[in-house]
Amino acid sequence: MGVPSRTFRRSPSYLLPCVLGLSFFSITVLYLYKVDDFANTKTVAGHNLEPTPWHLFPTKSFAEKTRHSRAYKILHCSYLACRYRDPTTTTTRTTPKRRRPHSPHTIPKCPEFFSFIHKDLEPWARNRISINHVMEAKRHAAFRVVIVGGRLFVDLYYACVQSRQMFTIWGLVQLLRRYPDSVPDVDMMFDCMDKPSISRTEHEAMPLPLFRYCTTQDHFDIPFPDWSFWGWPETNLRPWNEEFQDIKHGSEAESWSRKIPRAYWKGNPDVDSPIRTELLKCNHSRKWGAQIMRQDWLQETKGRFEQSKLSKQCNYRYKIYAEGFAWSVSLKYIISCGSLALIISPQYEDFFSRGLLPKKNYWPVSPIDLCPSIKFAVDWGNAHPSEAKAIGKAGQDFMESLSMDRVYEYMLHLITEYSKLLDFKPVAPSSAQEVCTDSLLCLADLEQRAFLERSIAAPSPAPPCTLQVVKSNVIDSLIEQKKRITREVKEMEMQGNNIT
């Protein structure tokens, strides 16, 4: 009996340090293990993400120098920031809250171009969208957004160039603030690079639903408002409503008759865009009536973009729009000037450009014989100043009507219509993370944060506009009409007799 009792008496004296040592050891191991976990977590800012393999770009660098500071930041921003959620987005969702009753007569109809939502979703109208469709679309996606019960989760696959990912997801998070009770549960795949990838011929048997910033008539990609509506820090473009007001103000600096009677373009010609290369050849005021300027981003970044302020580029009567590598975010700024927008027949369309009509709010310029086409437009405008001015003004009015309120309404209707087509109940995958206003502000660097803070949305005081159900042939005839007018302008130019 002596031995056990001695053991019994002795045991606390060595067990205690043992237990303490062991727990200290395991906490340390757990901590170190977790540091790795946190440090390796993918974030909307681009941590631990590779560029998309289908479009390479330089990998991002971050301010945090050590693994520990990165782990701390990610722990803080990604894991803890959405715990204490903003009360405007955390309304109890079990029973959808009733809005103040609005008489149906006071709710305005959505603009006509919203009807393209149905056209874009037509490929799935009959057979609907299965989880299989979504998982197949993943192969072309940079991230997945799942909204469940008004909470937004992202599953990140690849980084996006510059701050596109952060600002695109920010836009969705703001949509939840704008319409806290209305955004349905949804599961969407996004790509953030320029060119559409779901070709209609290649994917005819199984159309894949993939959201991106633009599409073409030969693609299934679903156009969605691009990041620049919330700001583009790398080019110093502020949120759209601010930028528009500034441009409009700048456009009023000179009357129409005092604006320079030539066509102006300023941008980056080195983006692998044949049309921009072609455009450089038209740089001759007398011969082609055009001034083509190269935007030197490096130089402009140093000068804080003072030279590229969009509001100072409205003193020309004509402003040229030329697509870049695909669609270009510059379209909305160019049309906002109220000058006559000379749009070189675009191949790509974004969500709103489909609402523009030739000779109503822009002048179509043919890419064939580009310089003479520009010259023809300039001569026509100078010979018909009141018509040219009216078209320019109609363009500006169109852009003014595309307020951020409209952009959110478009997003809401698009997501709602899309969600109706899902034949499964969206569930956030285990690898996804919740994202909220605070977590994005936390992950943003100082510069990004300044832009994000300017575009925080407030709950909408009114219900969204009413989406019209339009027959597909109405949209087809609209597209036909656009083509016809564009053709007529080209014929006028070829006959060369037109100016009077």
Type of residue found at 428: A
CB of 284 to ligand NAG, least distance (A): 7
The nearer residue to ligand NAG, 322 or 432, going by C-beta atoms, is 322
The nearer residue to ligand NAG, 110 or 374, going by C-beta atoms, is 374
Helix (H) or strand (E) holding 293: strand 290-294
The piece of 260-268, 290-298, 349-357, 435-443 that touches ligand NAG (CB under 6 A) is: 290-298
CB of 303 to ligand NAG, least distance (A): 17
Question: Is 293 a residue that touches ligand NAG (CB under 6 A)?
Answer: yes
What is the Cα–Cα distance from 86 to 63, expressed in whole angstroms?
27
The piece of 21-29, 291-299, 327-335, 449-457 that touches ligand NAG (CB under 6 A) is: 291-299
Task: Report how many residues bind ligand NAG under the rule CB under 6 A.
Answer: 5
Q: Are 70 and 47 in contact (CB under 8 A)?
A: yes
Applying CB under 6 A, which of residues 294, 359, 420, 449 lies at the interface with ligand NAG?
A: 294
Strand pairing class (211-212; 222-223): parallel
The piece of 71-79, 191-199, 286-294, 479-487 that touches ligand NAG (CB under 6 A) is: 286-294
Backbone φ, ψ for residue 17 (5° rounding): -60, -30
Applying CB under 6 A, which of residues 90, 283, 307, 498 lies at the interface with ligand NAG?
A: 283
User: Helix, strand, coil shares of the chain as percentages rounded to 5?
Assistant: 45, 15, 40
Q: Are 463 and 99 in contact (CB under 8 A)?
A: yes
Question: Is 280 a residue that touches ligand NAG (CB under 6 A)?
Answer: yes
The piece of 16-24, 77-85, 101-109, 289-297 that touches ligand NAG (CB under 6 A) is: 289-297
| Nearest residue to 335 (alpha-carbon basis) of 401, 387, 280, 381 | 401
Q: Are 36 and 66 in contact (CB under 8 A)?
A: no
CB of 293 to ligand NAG, least distance (A): 5
The piece of 179-187, 212-220, 245-253, 288-296 that touches ligand NAG (CB under 6 A) is: 288-296
Number of H helices and number of E strands within the chain?
Answer: 16, 11
The nearer residue to ligand NAG, 275 or 293, going by C-beta atoms, is 293
Question: Is 292 a residue that touches ligand NAG (CB under 6 A)?
Answer: yes
The nearer residue to ligand NAG, 216 or 283, going by C-beta atoms, is 283
Q: What are the helix (H) ranges across 252-369?
A: 274-280, 285-288, 297-302, 330-336
CB of 283 to ligand NAG, least distance (A): 4
Question: Is 15 a residue that touches ligand NAG (CB under 6 A)?
Answer: no
What tokens were used for 397? Answer: 């009015």
| Nearest residue to 490 (alpha-carbon basis) of 19, 427, 482, 331 | 482
CB of 263 to ligand NAG, least distance (A): 12
The nearer residue to ligand NAG, 195 or 317, going by C-beta atoms, is 317
CA distances from 184 to 152, 187, 210, 410, 431 (A): 11, 10, 18, 14, 21
CB of 306 to ligand NAG, least distance (A): 18
The nearer residue to ligand NAG, 293 or 470, going by C-beta atoms, is 293
Q: Are 314 and 251 in contact (CB under 8 A)?
A: yes
Strand pairing class (151-156; 433-435): antiparallel
Question: Is 166 a residue that touches ligand NAG (CB under 6 A)?
Answer: no
Backbone φ, ψ for residue 474 (5° rounding): -65, -45
Question: Is 287 a residue that touches ligand NAG (CB under 6 A)?
Answer: no
CB of 280 to ligand NAG, least distance (A): 5
Type of residue found at 415: I
Q: Which residues bind ligand NAG (CB under 6 A)?
A: 280, 283, 292-294
